[in-house]
Amino acid sequence: MTEPVLIERRGAVQWITINREERRNALNEKVALGIQAGLDAAEADKSVRAVVLTGAGDKAFCAGGDLQLQADGTPFTIDAADPRHYVARLLRRMDACRLPIVARVNGPALAGGFGILCACDLAVAREDAKLGVTEVKVGIFPMMILPYLLRIVSYRRLMELCITGELITGRDAVAENIVNYAVPYEELDQKLDWLLARVTDKSPTGIRLGKQALAKIREMSTDAALEYAQFMLANMTRTKDAREGMLAFNEKRAPNWTAE
């Protein structure tokens, strides 16, 4: 049986590939669990510096939820009393990841796939990839991914996307700060490698603690955020990576990061 998610190590980067090309890399529970397992494995290895999340082939990054008509006519079943739906678990796990997650948007990122894109830290997209939320066209709204869309997309633009169901391109998404870079498909991996090189040579400890702090500060009042930031900065200065970074700067050499 074909694995729904492929996990591959490439140098200092862990690649996680949704491997359902025949279903346009649609999201289901097995895919969500596979992505989570890939993140777990990446964090367990101190030599991993970043994670790439992508889809198999060139037809789609992720076309959203794998909708199958149920016996009662609904597109899927969900227990309103259970807050542990697999999409919520996946998004929480991505949020908690201490490594930078880079989306390699090799094709359309629609509905839940657009939510996964917005949950990543950085994104490189093919310029003609279609992005957006189409749920309104089947009578629903992108409820599960709204918290992540609101972080990335401006309110008025998000409202327009949600209530029209219209799509934008990767090229458009750069101008709206939804993705970092958009390039022709044949240049996608070259641009991705360029971005990864700028990430993986930096302090893994600094990035890890910085991501943790940013996630907390985003939910705080300004006063609480300033107090927390001071506490975190004091802790960061005591790490081995911070000491090595300062020493390397003074000695005018490249630092030797230990992720400690």
Q: Give the whole-angstrom CA distance, residue 136 versus residue 121.
A: 26
Q: Give the whole-angstrom CA distance, residue 24 versus residue 63.
A: 6
Q: Are 171 and 128 in contact (CB under 8 A)?
A: yes
Could you tell me the CA-to-CA distances from 236 to 42, 205, 212 in Å, in that order? 22, 8, 12
**Of 104, 111, 100, residue with least CA distance to 126:** 104
For residue 195, give every residue at least 6 positions away whose Cβ sits within 8 Å of its Cβ, in sequence order, or none. Answer: 102, 122, 124, 180, 181
Active site residues: 135
Give the N- to C-terminal CA distance of the chain in Å, as an integer: 40
For residue 160, give every residue at least 6 positions away whose Cβ sits within 8 Å of its Cβ, in sequence order, or none. Answer: 166
Q: Give the whole-angstrom CA distance, residue 202 versus residue 226.
A: 25
Cα–chain center distance at 127: 18
For residue 3, give every residue at least 6 positions away whose Cβ sits within 8 Å of its Cβ, in sequence order, or none. Answer: 19, 34
